[in-house]
Structure 1
Amino acid sequence: MSLANVFSIAGSGMSAQSIRLNATSSNIANAETVSSSIDETYRARYPVFAHAMNDAQEEGSLFEDQPKAVGAGVQVMGVVESQEALQARYDPNHPMANEEGYVYYPNVNVVEQMADMISASRSFQTNVDVLNTAKSMMQKVLTLGQ
């Protein structure tokens, strides 16, 4: 793997963590929204990540038929809604209460979401550090010939 691949790998990681941060902030923003129907209630959303793989450019062994695959970063497969149960609360005086007096709250755990947000933020910063380190390494290589 060349040093130039580091930029695309770290960039894909930053993009993935950005999507994760957006989903987490959306979950936190909608944590206390209510609805009178289970179908209309907000559900927590989570991004699904996968390894992006490329065929290796390097020569394999003479005894291998399969080309080697190398990591090419992270790809976002999609965003899924949580299937955990919603919180039904009996509150007949609430303006959004249904005929039985229940209101439904999202299945968002704010503490879990805050921990996820901190993790995504630190992962994003780690990818920024990787980019800065690779950039300084390439600059050092350019100055070797002077």
Structure 2
Amino acid sequence: MFGALDISTSALVAQRQRLTAISANVALGSTVVDPNADPDDFRRRVAIFAPGDPVSGSREGVHLKEILYDQAPFRKIHDEGHPFADEDGYVQVPNIDPSIEMINAVEASRAYEANITAAEATKSMLQTSLRLLA
């Protein structure tokens, strides 16, 4: 039964990490790409999950495998007065769609809540078992 708590906990950690990536995307959404910086610093981050726990070797649960950088092209907006504007007056902005990020945030939040509910159900079952055995 403790395995069920471990599985729920692994999912909670993974969803928190996913929400961290989404938050970074939302924060970056209103920036302008610095042509002198690393382009990956301005790319949308995507959390990739994998089954199991690589530390314990368990095949159950889930973990964050990696954060990928979305290679979609940057969007261009016209802003002639900006110091990063090209010769045509365009600046590049991150490849982030705020609507998609908000949908992803709600999805991650719901998954987090579902795993809390599963953990609470497991905890309740453990408490009932302990009462019966005591």
TM range (shorter): 0.7 to 0.9
In the alignment, does 2:27 pair up with 1:25?
no
CA separation in 2, counterparts of 1:132 and 1:84? 40
Matched, 1:90 2:78: yes
Runs of 4+ in 1 over 3 A off after TM superposition: 38-41
2:67 pairs, out of 70, 79, 87, with 79
Identity of aligned residues (%): 31
CA distance in 1, matches of 2:84, 2:127: 61
**Correspondences of 1:1-146 after superposition (within 5 Å):** 3-37=1-35, 40-41=38-39, 42-52=42-52, 71-146=59-134
* Alignment RMSD (CA, Å): 2.0
Q: Residue 39 of structure 1: CA displacement?
A: 6.0
Which structure is higher in strand share?
1
CA displacement, residues 42-90 of structure 1 (integer Å, 9 cap, x when unaligned): 1100111011179xxxxxxxxxxxxxxx841002111000011110123
Letter in 2 for 1:14: L
CA contact (8 A) 1:18 1:124 kept: yes
Structure 2 spans left out of the alignment, 5+ residues: none
The structure with the largest alpha-carbon Rg is: 1
Report if aligned partners of 2:35, 2:84 keep a CA contact under 8 Å in 1: no
CA distance in 2, matches of 1:33, 1:26: 11
Q: Which residue of 2 aligns with 1:60?
A: none
Contiguous gaps of at least 5 residues in structure 1: 55-69
Q: Is the 8 A contact 1:9 1:72 kept in 2?
A: yes
1:13-36 Cα offsets, whole Å, 9 max, x none, are 000000000000110011010025
| Alpha-carbon separation, structure 2, partners of 1:128 and 1:38 | 43
Number of residues of Structure 1 aligned to a counterpart in Structure 2? 129
The amino acid that maps onto 2:52 is: A
Question: What is the rounded CA distance, in whole Å, between the counterparts of 1:132 and 1:87 in structure 2?
Answer: 44
Structure 1 distance, partners of 2:2, 2:127, is: 12
Letter matched to residue 22 of structure 1 = T
**Contact between 1:35 and 1:97, CA under 8 Å: does it hold in 2?**
no
